[in-house]
């Protein structure tokens, strides 16, 4: 089963966090659609024009498994249109949708964090945060892509195939202790960080 998530940021350094669950080992695809637009695996037509996203995948202990920022880890040009369903954006001429394919070896919960281009993981764990946390509108926009094009605050990505996935907001963490508590609450299937991030799920 595939699930589709969407929402909006207020400023560049926002992030949106989600949890999905698998019942057995599986290869899972995470793929954004909102930069260039396209038809997702659920048959939804997703409009383009959104900001350049980063998708970061963590296991249930908060260890980083993989991330993608427009086709090359770290977001370094040239941006790769060859993997996943990435499309060339007609306005910017760039391929900046994110795509992560991961072979997950055990059942359980996994975390996906959506950030904006260049706001990549600081270290090997979720607790390390992201490179541009707290910097506000670091693109000079908000939502200016690496080619200098203004974009919208919108993000849209899919996860699949998985057994279960659904978002549910939880309070913004005040410390690493709250983050640890979140990792222990397996009943929660998603979390939202930073006011104004409004996730929507379709399945």
For the chain, what are the domain ranges?
3-202
Task: Report the alpha-carbon distance of residue 70 to residue 98 in Å, rounded.
Answer: 5
> Does 177 or 9 have the greater pLDDT score?
9
pLDDT digits (tens, 9 = 90+) for 55-84: 999 999 999 999 998 754 344 444 557 666
Letter string b/e over residues 169-201, b meaning 16 or more CB atoms within 10 A of that residue's CB: ebeebeeeeebeebbeeeebbbbbbeeebebeb
Place of tokens 């998530």: 5
Q: If DSSP codes are grouped into helix, strand and coil, which group holds residue 181?
A: helix
CATH class of 3-202: mainly beta
Q: What is the pLDDT of residue 55?
A: 95
Altogether, the residues listed in the chain come to a count of 203
Name the helix (H) or strand (E) containing 109.
strand 108-116
Q: How far is CA 10 from CA 20, 22, 37, 134, in A?
A: 24, 31, 20, 13
Q: Count H helices and E strands in the chain, helices first.
A: 1, 13
| pLDDT class of 153 with cuts at 50, 70, 90 | very high
**Tens digits of residue pLDDT in 4-63:** 999 999 999 999 999 999 999 999 999 999 999 999 999 999 999 999 999 999 999 999
The 10s digit of each residue's pLDDT in 104-128 is 999 999 999 999 999 999 999 999 9
11-109-19 Cα angle (round to 5)? 25
Given a cut of 60, whether residue 190 has pLDDT beyond it is: no
Over range 154-168, report the average pLDDT.
80
| HSE-up (13 A, CA, CB side) for residue 72 | 9
Q: Tokens 């637009």 identify what position?
A: 37
Question: How far apart (Å, rounded) are the C-alpha atoms in residues 69 and 76?
Answer: 8
Band of the pLDDT at 163, cuts 50, 70, 90? confident
200 with 19: CB under 8 angstroms? no
């Amino acid at each position: 089963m595939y699930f589709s998530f969407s929402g909006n940021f207020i400023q560049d350094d926002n992030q949106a966090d989600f949890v999905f669950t698998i019942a057995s080992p599986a290869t899972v695809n995470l793929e954004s659609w909102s930069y260039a637009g396209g038809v997702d695996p659920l048959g939804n037509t997703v409009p383009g024009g959104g900001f350049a996203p980063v998708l970061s995948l963590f296991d249930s202990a908060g260890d980083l498994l993989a991330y993608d920022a427009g086709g090359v880890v770290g977001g370094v040009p040239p941006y790769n249109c060859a993997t996943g369903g990435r499309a060339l954006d007609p306005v910017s001429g760039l391929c900046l949708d994110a795509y992560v394919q991961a072979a997950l070896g055990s059942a359980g919960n996994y975390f996906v964090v959506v950030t904006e281009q260049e706001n990549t993981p600081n270290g090997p764990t979720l607790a390390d945060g992201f490179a541009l946390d707290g910097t506000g509108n670091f693109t000079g926009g908000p939502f200016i892509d690496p080619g200098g094009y203004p974009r919208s605050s919108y993000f849209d990505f899919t996860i699949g195939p998985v057994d279960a996935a659904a978002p549910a907001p939880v309070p913004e963490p005040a410390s690493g202790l709250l983050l640890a508590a979140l990792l222990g609450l397996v009943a929660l299937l998603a979390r939202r960080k930073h006011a104004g991030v409004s996730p929507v799920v379709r399945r």
